Chains A and B, each alone.
Chain A
Amino acid sequence: MTNDSDHIVTESAARIFADLADPQTINRLDNGAWKAPFWQALCDAGLPLAWVPERLGGAGATLAEGFAVLGVAGRFALAVPLAETLLAGWLLTRAGVAAPNGSMTIAPSRPSDRIILDEDGTLSGSAIGIPFASEAQHIAVLAHGRRIVVALVAASDCTIGEGQTLAGDPSNIVRFQRVKPLRYARTPLDHTALMLMGSVSRSVQTAGALESILSLTVSYANERVAFERPIGKFQAVQHNLARLAGETAAALAVSGSAASTIGQSGNIDKSGFFEGASAKIRCVEAATEGAAIAHQVFGAIGFTKEHILHRFTLRILAWRDDFGSESYWAAELGRHVAQQGADEFWPMVASR
């Protein structure tokens, strides 16, 4: 999915990730001391605000470049709010709201949650499962008043609950009790568009993580000896790894397809819905299947805290529920296809 400029961006991102957020190194440290210098390096490279235009203080990268960076971030199973800050920057600046420096997240992150903008200009409501809310400085909120707006909120003005994902990253309930936004503006986007953009981001991250899982698992199968042979020489293990490759391939292809669709149109239209929903559904299936296969090949060692496998597998499993689960999107997509009717179905598939 990469062209030359994507390539330069992803290569510099990969260098920073490898230098300052190497999964092996981080896994050995039992603290978050690596986070601050790493985040600073990301900011110096303009990555967190990549989707913010230069006139609004960002790096002005294309959507395609940002998705490419998220793919690489997935390969490192990054435990910082890079995707969330990218999404917040995109959400804010689409409404013309300038993005602040520092880490951000977005709310809501579940299809059924709604935040209300009251007549007095304050926000009310609550949103569950907000990724990295307890670490972020600001929250970009999509809120429903007389119109749909995007509001920039200081995280310290909200009530943020305890909570973490399967992988131990913050995932919090955020309560807005007459919170006064720092600024807000009407947005051309809607709730579905935010859920889709988040879903495609998670899909791209998942595909990247699966690439690493595949590579780690194949290397392990070639090294680990049992019954006097590397276990990768056993046909049963080979067939499991071939299936893992298939799941990885499916995730890469469908997430890349959705990212390129949104990247090219710049908008989330009907095609973006079809592609984005499909990407989330299929990438979640790949995550569930792929994580299980990888753990089976690694055996007991892959189940330890000491081994890095869980950094990848638990994250892809946790990401399944962000911005709409596969079941949610499957029901949405199924209803859409059913409404169009059987005769419209093949033309819809063939147009992609």
Chain B
Amino acid sequence: MSTNLQFDQIRLPRECDALRQEVRAFLADEIAKGTFDPHRPGHGDSHDRAFSKRIGAKGWIGMTWPKKYGGHERSFLERYVVTEEFRVANAPVRSHFVADRQSGPILLKYASEHVKTNILPRICRGELCFVIGMSEPGSGSDLFAVKTKATKVDKGWRINGSKIWTSNAHIADYMIALFRTSPPTNENRRHGLTQFLVDMKTDGIKVNPIYQMSGQHDFNEVVFDDAFVPDDHVLGEIDGAWKQAASELAYERSGPERFLETFYVLLELIRAIGREPDARSADGLGRLVAQLHTLRRMSVSVAGMLQAGKEPVVEAAIVKDLGTVWEQKLPNRVRELTAFLAPDIANRVTLEEQLAFATTIAPKLTIQGGTTEILRGIIARGLGLR
């Protein structure tokens, strides 16, 4: 517990430059082929399995994983470059991104050899989509209130209950889920939860869509009715899932996707104000640029520290807190800064479409993957206040 914050001055190494050019060329080619439109962020938020397979063929999924599981043993900084370039281009990565960022690393750490050999190479080829099964109707930020039950039976477990807000469940092949295997104890309310790998094709699993206010379909309710999960799909220690969360979360929290989610409206702002902006526009843009640069330098620093084997848990939570609040406010900032521009600016339609989209997705940015309130609690704990 300390108030000492550390942000090592990490620059992306030289070898990343060639990689970045390769990624940009690939994306330019896909845009030319009509795979996606970089000016339509709604598309970037969608899934396209054929595109994911082409990304897998380039070696850009599971980049940091061991070669024997289909990975490429490249650095986290190289993965960083690929992630940010895809995000900035609004490329549709939904189909493989969760598996690449989160699920794969959990399997690498906790799955049986058999499961790893079977599943990881398919993730790397872009063939598999993963969903995270954490929240339940009565358990959101408070994960330890999970009730969906896994009951021990011969050779495996029977699952009963439901998960909610499960993004991608309707297209996913596998879920990594948190189920209750024992009641909590008086000494430790975190006890009794276990992580499982669940094949979404299992009998007894039903996926019901939940449509979002942005018009997208991403959320679902997943109902388990006596669904069977075999023993070798248990991930890590039975009843001890609470010990497994911390270190992976640092990766999940600090990546470029935590501040670039509405980046496209900033590009449209630059187009809208033109080459010779007035003082108000220039001042407004300059502040946003400085804020973005700061967030990126913080995020790269955390990636580099993780690569070096450090555990910047508080720093990663800070990146997500500052980054998501920033990307959430960005659409309104752009709206304010374009308020006095001439009505006939060339990109008016695109700007308005993008602002409308960004505004409707903005509320989720400070909720998904750990709310602002939870993050500030983690930071406070790190400072020695809890």
A residues sitting closer than 8 Å to B (CB atoms) are 1, 211, 214-215, 218, 221-222, 232-233, 235, 237-239, 241-243, 245-246, 248-250, 252-254, 256-257, 260, 274-275, 277-279, 281-282, 285, 326-327, 329-335, 337-339, 341-342, 345-346, 349-350, 352
Across the interface, do B298 and A221 meet the contact criterion of CB distance under 8 Å?
Answer: no
Q: Please give, as numbers and ranges, the residues of chain B lying within 8 Å of A345 by CB-CB distance.
A: 266-267, 270, 289
Q: Quick check: is B349 within 8 A (CB to CB) of the other chain?
A: no
Q: Quick check: is B285 within 8 A (CB to CB) of the other chain?
A: yes
Q: Please give, as numbers and ranges, the residues of chain B lying within 8 Å of A281 by CB-CB distance.
A: 286-287, 290-291
Partner of B380, one of A214, A239, A275, A349: A239
Q: Please give, as numbers and ranges, the residues of chain A lying within 8 Å of B279 by CB-CB distance.
A: 331
Q: Which 3 A-B pairs have CB atoms at the shortest separation, nearest pair first?
A: A330-B286, A334-B286, A334-B282
Within B277-326, the residues touching A (CB, 8 Å) are: 277, 279, 281-287, 289-298, 301, 314-315, 318, 321-322
Across the interface, do A334 and B321 meet the contact criterion of CB distance under 8 Å?
Answer: no
The interface size bin for chain B is 35 or more
For A248, A253, A332, which residue has the most chain B Cβ atoms within 10 angstroms?
A253
Partner of A260, one of B9, B282, B283: B9
Across the interface, do A238 and B293 meet the contact criterion of CB distance under 8 Å?
Answer: no
Which of B60-68, B218-226, B371-379 is found at the contact surface with chain A? B371-379
B residues sitting closer than 8 Å to A (CB atoms) are 3-5, 7-9, 11, 20, 84-85, 88, 263, 266-268, 270-271, 273-277, 279, 281-287, 289-298, 301, 314-315, 318, 321-322, 373, 375-377, 379-380, 382-386
Q: A278-B289, A278-B293, A334-B284 are in contact. Are A245 and B84 (CB under 8 A)?
A: no
Partner of B290, one of A211, A215, A248, A254: A254
Partner of A221, one of B266, B287, B385: B385
Partner of B3, one of A215, A331, A335: A215
Across the interface, do B384 and A346 meet the contact criterion of CB distance under 8 Å?
Answer: no
Partner of A338, one of B88, B275, B318, B321: B275
Across the interface, do B292 and A256 meet the contact criterion of CB distance under 8 Å?
Answer: no
Q: Please give, as numbers and ranges, the residues of chain A lying within 8 Å of B282 by CB-CB distance.
A: 330-332, 334-335, 338
Across the interface, do B297 and A254 meet the contact criterion of CB distance under 8 Å?
Answer: yes
Across the interface, do A277 and B286 meet the contact criterion of CB distance under 8 Å?
Answer: yes
For B11, B276, B289, which residue has the most chain A Cβ atoms within 10 angstroms?
B289
Question: What is the minimal beta-carbon distance from B376 to any residue of chain A, in angstroms?
Answer: 4
Q: A257-B9, A334-B286 are in contact. Are A350 and B20 (CB under 8 A)?
A: yes
Across the interface, do B7 and A252 meet the contact criterion of CB distance under 8 Å?
Answer: yes
Across the interface, do B385 and A349 meet the contact criterion of CB distance under 8 Å?
Answer: no
Across the interface, do A282 and B383 meet the contact criterion of CB distance under 8 Å?
Answer: no
In the complex, 29 of the A-B residue pairs with CB atoms within 8 angstroms, ordered by the A residue number, are: A1-B8, A211-B5, A221-B385, A232-B385, A238-B376, A238-B386, A242-B376, A243-B376, A245-B383, A246-B379, A248-B5, A249-B7, A252-B7, A253-B7, A253-B298, A330-B286, A332-B286, A335-B276, A335-B277, A337-B285, A338-B270, A338-B277, A338-B282, A338-B285, A339-B275, A342-B271, A345-B270, A350-B84, A350-B85
Across the interface, do A250 and B380 meet the contact criterion of CB distance under 8 Å?
Answer: no
Q: Please give, as numbers and ranges, the residues of chain A lying within 8 Å of B263 by CB-CB distance.
A: 346
B347 closest partner in A (C-beta): A342
A281, B5: Cα distance in complex, Å: 20
Across the interface, do A334 and B285 meet the contact criterion of CB distance under 8 Å?
Answer: yes
